[in-house]
Structure 1
Amino acid sequence: MAITLSVVSLEGCTSAKKLVYFQGATTTDDTVNIAEPFIPTIKKGDILSVQVSSLNAEASAYFNPVSMAEATAVTAIANPLARTVGYAVADDGTIKLPLIGQLSVVGLTNTKASELITSKLKSYLKEPTVNVRNLNFRISVLGEVSRPALFTIPNEQITLPEALGLAGDLTIYGRRDNVLVIREEGTKRVFARLDLTRRDAFRSPYYSLHPNDVVYIEPGKARVTSVDRAYQLTPVVTGILSLIAIIATRR
């Protein structure tokens, strides 16, 4: 009973205002400017899915990785990280395609890469269509969320609130006013903090997440206090239960 009351009192100390996202609206209909949407470009080390189709399905199949569909179907169930069968972008920024050979794709968007490959395939296929996707667009969400995990983003577009939604939202102990986004930029790691209780978060360049971003939710004081009290109460509870067991066995 004492432990239950302690937990309830701690949760009651958490201000409701600290749990509300995007505060500051003054009217029912309100607007706020947002940051420019992030459009990913291909980088060294990316793994690309290149799906080719044309009026001749048999000829098109030659340009698609033979084991791609089978490998994905078998391995995706056991390990989401295994969904990486495709063309790896080499250190020189190229991928190697059947017949076409090496193509420089680093720095291109998927759309531009699709257009480039399509132009090369016209010598081999009738009315080719190419779809390029990045198979290793991943983000990590850690800390005080319901389901911390590494997430693969199939459409290569995700915002910070969407990522938190995938992770089951913050727990009641998570600090919404101090969300940390860790981003790789060249040879550096940038540590940026966003306050999701304010609408200014929409204007942050870290509102749209990039590949390999790490989102960390810091625990609030209530979480730290509850853990400390749990450690303090455990020996007491254990001692009481042991005493009750001894008394019960002597009767």
Structure 2
Amino acid sequence: MNKIINQDKKIYMKKMRIGFFLVLIAFLATACQSNKTIPYFKNIPKTEYNKIEQAAYTELKIKEDDILDITIQTADVNAASQVNDAATNNSIASPGSGQQRATGFVVDKEGEVELPVLGRIKLEGLTSYEARNLIRKKANEYFVDPTVQVRFVNFKVTVIGEVNRPSSYTMPSERVTILDAIGLAGDLTIYGKRENVLLIRETNTGKELVQFNLNDSQLFKSPYYYLKQNDIIYVEPSKGKIAAAESSRFSVIAIIASLLSTAALIITRL
């Protein structure tokens, strides 16, 4: 009987040691991963002042299914109210946003928006600045010294993967960088793979896939540094995350095994 008990104790201690070493290995792997890859832009020289070339910003172009907030102001407060009220009351489901709804004028398949009083105006392919000038030119036929504002309502980007707050974010400005989007998502987690961040972009011919290395200052020169409507950013998990998940699984197995061994010892003594 004592021989059996001693064997069970040896098995129990062996499993506990295995579980301990697995947790230790996962911890060391995570620590090494953190030291090597957490800092951004490591190849920037350590001097007091650095100037890095940056990609030129290209203004967003209006395209089909975009939702635009268009307002017209005139000296007569009530003169353009029909246009502005129509924008406020026109509730549209944003493409790909689930139950989220936005107010504004949608660009139809012909690339046009239909405004009260002004009629149909083709805006596809224009920037918001060019669209504003075109609408103001048309509004001059009906109003005195009109001031026009045009902005994107549905400019959103989605950040998923190893970030602290994965979600879709509606941008308040057209000039948005990949770093802005990652910042809104609460930065990468400690397990985020900073050397392999994937950008997915919809185009007329399909999807573009672009990889970024946040450890490399060449990011600033990329033509994809500035984001466009409906861009998706995916942060891949590192090997440390996989190792931690595996160690957790083995730790649970070791605990269960130890509980079963303890139960077996109690039963043999009875």
- Same fold? TM cut 0.5: yes
SS in 2 for 1:163: helix
For residues 103-143 of structure 1, what are the alpha-carbon distances to aligned partners after superposition, in whole Å with 9 as ceiling and x for unaligned? 11000111111111111111221111111111111111111
In the alignment, the residues of structure 2 paired with residue 131 and residue 138 of structure 1 have an alpha-carbon distance, to the nearest angstrom, of 19
Contact 1:183 1:189 in 2 (8 A): yes
How many angstroms does 1:180 deviate by?
A: 0.8
Q: Tell me the TM-score normalized by structure 2.
A: 0.81
Aligned residue in 1 for 2:52: 32
In the alignment, the residues of structure 2 paired with residue 120 and residue 39 of structure 1 have an alpha-carbon distance, to the nearest angstrom, of 23
In the alignment, the residues of structure 2 paired with residue 180 and residue 90 of structure 1 have an alpha-carbon distance, to the nearest angstrom, of 31
Contact 1:177 1:194 in 2 (8 A): yes
AA aligned to 1:55 is A
SS in 2 for 1:14: helix
Aligned residue in 2 for 1:227: 245
SS in 1 for 2:249: helix
Q: Tell me the TM-score normalized by structure 1.
A: 0.87
The reply on whether 1:194 has 2:212 as its aligned counterpart is yes
Q: Which moved further from structure 2: 80-89 or 223-232?
A: 80-89
The reply on whether 1:11 has 2:30 as its aligned counterpart is yes
Contact 2:67 2:154 in 1 (8 A): yes
Gapped runs of 5+ residues in structure 2?
1-18
Give 1:1-251 correspondences, 5 Å limit. 2=20, 5=24, 8-26=27-45, 27-66=47-86, 68=88, 82-240=100-258
In the alignment, the residues of structure 1 paired with residue 234 and residue 109 of structure 2 have an alpha-carbon distance, to the nearest angstrom, of 30
Identity, % of aligned pairs? 33
Give the RMSD, CA atoms, in angstroms.
2.8
Contact 1:38 1:210 in 2 (8 A): no
How many angstroms does 1:184 deviate by?
A: 1.6
Q: 1:135 to 1:246 in 2, by over 3 A?
A: farther
In the alignment, the residues of structure 1 paired with residue 191 and residue 113 of structure 2 have an alpha-carbon distance, to the nearest angstrom, of 46
In the alignment, the residues of structure 1 paired with residue 104 and residue 91 of structure 2 have an alpha-carbon distance, to the nearest angstrom, of 10
Q: 1:60 to 1:242 in 2, by over 3 A?
A: farther
Q: 1:109 to 1:245 in 2, by over 3 A?
A: farther
Q: 1:33 to 1:216 in 2, by over 3 A?
A: same
SS in 2 for 1:175: strand
In the alignment, the residues of structure 2 paired with residue 168 and residue 11 of structure 1 have an alpha-carbon distance, to the nearest angstrom, of 20
In the alignment, the residues of structure 2 paired with residue 241 and residue 121 of structure 1 have an alpha-carbon distance, to the nearest angstrom, of 79
Gapped runs of 5+ residues in structure 1?
none
Contact 2:67 2:106 in 1 (8 A): yes
SS in 2 for 1:84: strand
In the alignment, the residues of structure 1 paired with residue 102 and residue 260 of structure 2 have an alpha-carbon distance, to the nearest angstrom, of 54
Contact 1:65 1:86 in 2 (8 A): no
For residues 66-91 of structure 1, what are the alpha-carbon distances to aligned partners after superposition, in whole Å with 9 as ceiling and x for unaligned? 4727969xx9xxx9963421111010
Contact 1:178 1:217 in 2 (8 A): yes
Contact 1:149 1:167 in 2 (8 A): yes
Contact 2:26 2:240 in 1 (8 A): no
